[in-house]
A and B are shown apart, each in its own frame.
Chain A
Amino acid sequence: MSKQLGFLHNSEKCVGCRGCEIACKNEYQIEATPQWRKVFQLHEDDFSLPTRMFFSMACNHCAHPECLRVCPVKAYTKREDGIVIHDPNRCIGCRLCTMACPYDRPQINPAKKKVEKCNLCYQRIDQGEKPACVTACIPGALELVEINDSLDQKTGILKTLPGLPSPKITSPSIRFIGPKQGKQIRRD
């Protein structure tokens, strides 16, 4: 593998608008239930002050993808650029991947009885475009990046956020800029 593409999510900028989530649906017109990308609200109690903080997550295109490892029909492949592709034609809907993924990102499509997930808009990337979610992010909280040491050495780059599974399991190709809290003048 020559490189590893992934996402950089800036929780400082993310306001949980869910534009990315719905832009993904708009791009692929996937039915209501599967959510390839999803915005999660961080626990209010995980912070010193109450807050509305979010992160957005799709498939993390892990360096060591569990989905790929457990799939009995080789529906998963990893490209040279690190994108983990799921092939619905091979998928038999056994759901092993949905159980193996620590992030619960392979999604079962109840109508098709098959799994589907984010393929990092590889068709767009191959044409030099950015993924639909990144393009749609209004506050600029979601970026497509190359995951490498120089990124990890930058200050403020986190490999995980409170409440997320240990990155040691699959080495997810996502990095975070953690949420920042301002001062609050409260009445409670």
Chain B
Amino acid sequence: MKLTRRKFLGGAAAVAASSMTLFNFNLLTNSPSASAADQPSEAIKTFRNVCPRNCYDTCGMITYVEDGVLKKVEGDPKHGYTNGKLCLKGYSYPRRVYSPDRIKYPMKQSPRGSGNWTRISWDEAMDTIAKKILDLKKRYGSTLPICLDKYSGNFGIVHYGIEGTMSSIGYTTRAVGTPCWPAGIDAQTYDFGTLYSNDPEDMVNAKYIILWGQNAAWTAIHSLPFINEARERGAKLVVIDPILTSTASKADLYIQINPSTDGALALGMARYIIDNNWVDWEYARANSLGFDEWVEYVKKSITLDWASEKTGVPKDIIMEIAREYATAKPASMWVGYGMQRHTNGGQNVRIIDALGVMTGNVGKSGGGVNYGHLETWGFNYNAMVNAPPKGSKGFIGPDGKEGDRAINMNNFAHDVSAQSDPPVKMLWLACRNPGAQDPDTNAIEKMFSSMEFVVTVDSFFNKTVEMSDIVLPATTHFEDWDVMASYWHYWVGINQRAIDPLYECKSDVEIAIELSEKMNALEPGSCTFPTSGTPEEWLAKEFNPGIHQMLGINDYKELIDGPRKAKMPPASWSDGNFRTPSKKIEIHSELAEKNGLPALPIWVDEMKTPEKYPIRFMTPHPQYALHSQFQNLDWMMTTNPEPKVEIHPNLAAKYGITEGTMVKIYNDLGSITVKAHLTRTTSTNVIVAYEAWYKNSNFNVNYTLKAIPSDMGKQATGNDGLAFHDNFVMIEKA
């Protein structure tokens, strides 16, 4: 498949020669194979794909294609972690690819937000975009008025060509950071040098498992068999979560902790472990810095009574889990991303890290303080790396270096609007739906309306597309070549082009090529993105000897035979080579201190509940969707037709709310109205609604969410995270 523009309406009318008719065809043409009608259907072909969503599991898939049509998807049995099974979202993929709702052609809206869309050719789309880029560059002397917001809609490596698109036109403004997990990343960066978790398949060796704010049943279901196997071998499962999730419902012990107090619980456990001398002094002292200093802090400042008061967990339970965790050997902890979405979230992860270190569970098979890893992501990012055109003017950073202008992805609306020299005038959105996912939706709407020009690449008509001038139709991963790694398991898989791109959909790299051709035609030298190469060639360029060696292959094509698991020990840090400045675990982190954080994993108070808004509104990940993907599909809309807010019956009674009542949830920022579901799976001061984008619905949990930063994230990801779960509201009957 060449990367040339496909013409849908054949320019020259074809004449069916064999039938010698004078009929002028526009859409039909001579079939190359004579008497093709008598030919049997093509045999079913199978392809290897990898689900590229922002998900722990990054499943290996087998795609069945007949006559060029994707018939069904199955799990890839050669994938040792996902083991031939998909989740409900994965099985729904044919609905996504062939949904009549897909965005099919480049479209232009005038004016933005009006719903007045015209179909335009790729050429016109590229011409309009290229001219706008060149116009902004001329007016402002640089491409800095152009801002890219790309994140996790597709985590395929070739999709970093989106960043490459921007690099190739000059220095631009970039939304930097990650909304998901940065506080925890920084916590592990301060402690261990980076995030690096055990192989999840190694959980089978754990004798005790604590899932800390982690709902694997919904967000990492393929880990459950490994947890179950450990349990069958005798391990106890403890789930600590403010919400009694599906995962928590299976636990031997479920602890409904006060939100944001996880560090206090860990400190209480640490105190009891010290008091009973279950500390692995040898491991901790040999491998870490500042351990004794922290032990002194715990002895001096922490009591079980305090921990119990703070967390809402009875003392005897703290003692029980402390004893069991410290003496199980090995004991595994899995720190979920939900628990770090607080103003003290990173600090809480650091405390939990220290708990793992003090019990000698770090570096051990069956142990670990597991959060995620990026060990298998060492690709070339070839599509991402492009030199700016000659003479490009950049932003002079605080370090005096010229480059892109970074703004905070987690306060996107505010930061875009705050730029003045030069202002941001144009947005390019790809793999990202800030209209649904960013905090303070009202602020997002306002910021979008202040833009001169908005380009969005997407597959479905979501809130962000609604607010765009031009939308470009994106391919699905079945229509692309790519390679995917996981931030949880150790497998890497290739993603083949199983079917031709539908309609006029293009991959992000194909779009970059089109743009480059257009820009250089309009102004030679204005874009450095290469204009050649097939999608498979672009994929091939992502591999390097390091990746080959890690996966035990000589060529990327070997991955077509099956995904490969990285050759790494089952336990992270088992070599004791930590990647901190001191090469040891830094219980005392000077880097943290330099960044204005406590050097030690000490308690930092959680955000106070405001008097006016006494109810915490938690908006965790949904079961039927991944952020704003999947829930809009018909199967999901049938099984889960509408959003609901989970309210404890006692809280509901206070406001006269019964099952099915429409509830207005509001604070100073905004409000949403959603149907109540009464359940004791939540507590009396926490209401829960799962974030998602429902088809033809304005439901969006982020209208009341302030862009309050979590405590960490800057060090490793450029910006602090978001305290998604410190969202306080009032409720009333709507």
In the complex, what distance in Å separates the CA atom of A135 from the CA atom of B86?
10
Point out the residues of chain B lying under 8 angstroms from A23, CB to CB: 86, 91
Do the beta carbons of A22 and B85 come within 8 Å of each other? no
Max count, chain A CB within 10 A of own CB: residue among B244, B250, B683: B250
17 residue pairs of the A-B complex, CB under 8 angstroms, read A15-B247, A18-B88, A18-B623, A22-B635, A25-B635, A44-B679, A52-B249, A53-B249, A138-B87, A139-B224, A182-B237, A184-B253, A184-B254, A185-B317, A186-B680, A187-B256, A188-B680
- A136-B91 contact in complex given A15-B221, A27-B72, A187-B256, C-beta closer than 8 Å: yes
The 8 A CB mask of B224-259 against A (1 = contact, 0 = none) is 110010000000010000001111111111111010
Instruction: Say if the beta carbon of B670 comes within 8 Å of chain A.
Output: no
Determine which of A19, A52, A53 lies in contact with B88 in the assembled complex, contact meaning CB atoms within 8 Å.
A19
Residue A183, interface by CB 8 Å: yes
Contact check, B91 vs A25: say whether CB atoms are below 8 A apart. Answer: yes
Within the assembled complex, what's the spacing in Å between the Cα atoms of A187 and B241?
Answer: 11
B650 and A185 within 8 A (CB): no
Closest B residue to A38 by beta carbon equals: B639
In the complex, A16 Cα to B71 Cα: how many Å?
A: 26
Q: Which residues of A contact B222 (CB under 8 A)?
A: 138
- In the complex the two chains form, is A183's CB within 8 Å of B253's CB? yes
Q: How many residues of B contact A (CB 8 A)?
A: 53
Asked whether A26 lies within 8 Å of B91 as measured between CB atoms, the reply is: yes
* In-complex Cβ contact of B634 among A32, A50, A136 (8 A): A32
Cβ of B734 under 8 Å from chain A: no
**How does the 8 Å CB contact mask read for A97-139 relative to B, with 1 for contact and 0 for none?**
0000000000000000000000000000000000000011111
A16 and B222 CA atoms in complex are apart in Å by 13
Is B274 part of the binding interface, using a Cβ–Cβ cutoff of 8 Å? no
A153 within 8 Å of B (CB atoms)? no
CA distance A185 to B317 in the complex (A): 8
Interfacial residues, chain B to chain A (CB-CB below 8 A):
71-75, 83-88, 91-92, 94, 217-218, 221-222, 224-225, 228, 237, 244-256, 258, 312-314, 317, 623, 634-635, 637-639, 648, 650, 679-681, 683-684
Q: Which residues of A contact B (CB under 8 A)?
A: 12-13, 15-19, 21-23, 25-27, 29, 32-33, 35, 44, 50-54, 135-140, 181-188
- Contact at B634–A13, with CB atoms within 8 Å? no
Given known A-B contacts A16-B217, A19-B91, A183 and B252 have beta carbons under 8 A apart? yes
Q: Which 10 A-B pairs have the closest CB atoms?
A: A50-B680, A15-B217, A22-B91, A26-B91, A22-B88, A32-B638, A32-B634, A52-B249, A182-B252, A187-B683
Given A19-B91, A53-B249, A138-B225: A188 and B637 interface contact (C-beta under 8 Å) = no
Task: Report A97 CB to chain B, min CB distance, Å.
Answer: 22
Report A110 CB to chain B, min CB distance, Å.
12
Q: Which residues of B contact A136 (CB under 8 A)?
A: 75, 85-86, 91
Query: Contact between A185 and B228 (Cβ–Cβ < 8 Å)?
Result: no
Chain B residue at minimal CB-CB distance from A186:
B256
CB distance from B727 to the nearest CB of A (A): 19
Rounded to whole Å, the gap between the CB of A38 and the closest CB of chain B is 9
**Contact indicator B91/A15 (Cβ below 8 Å):** no
> Once bound together, how far apart are the Cα atoms of A184 and B243, in whole Å?
12
Q: Which B residue sits closest to A50, measured CB to CB?
A: B680
Name the CB-closest residue of B to A26.
Answer: B91
Contact assessment for A29 and B72 in the assembled complex, using a CB-CB cutoff below 8 Å: yes
Asked if B244 and A50 sit within 8 Å, CB to CB, the answer is yes
Given A26-B73, A26-B92, A184-B256, do A139 and B228 touch, yes or no (CB 8 Å)? yes
Q: Which residues of B contact A53 (CB under 8 A)?
A: 249
CB distance from B75 to the nearest CB of A (A): 8
| Across-interface contacts of A184 in B (CB, < 8 A) | 244, 253-254, 256
**Which B residue's beta carbon lies closest to that of A184?**
B254
Given contact pairs A32-B634, A136-B86, A15 touches B317 in the complex (Cβ within 8 A) = no
Contact B681 A139 (CB under 8 A): no
B244 pairs with A19, CB closer than 8 A: no
Residue of A nearest to B624 (CB): A18
Residues of the A chain whose Cβ atoms lie less than 8 Å from the Cβ of B254: 182-185
B228 A140 Cβ-Cβ under 8 A: yes
Q: Is the CB of A185 within 8 A of B88?
A: no
Complex Cα–Cα for A12 and B246 (A):
11
CA distance A182 to B249 in the complex (A): 8
Residues in A with CB closer than 8 Å to B312 are 187
Q: A35-B639, A188-B680 are in contact. List 11 more A-B contacts (CB 8 A).
A: A12-B250, A19-B85, A23-B91, A25-B635, A35-B638, A44-B681, A50-B680, A136-B85, A138-B83, A182-B254, A185-B256
Is the CB–CB distance between A26 and B94 below 8 Å? Answer: yes
Task: Report Cα–Cα, A52/B258, bound state, in Å.
Answer: 20
CA distance A188 to B623 in the complex (A): 25
Q: Are B250 and A182 in contact (CB-based, < 8 A)?
A: yes
A15-B247, A16-B246, A32-B638 as given contacts; A188 in contact with B650, CB under 8 Å: yes
Alpha-carbon distance between A22 and B636 when the two chains are bound, in angstroms: 9
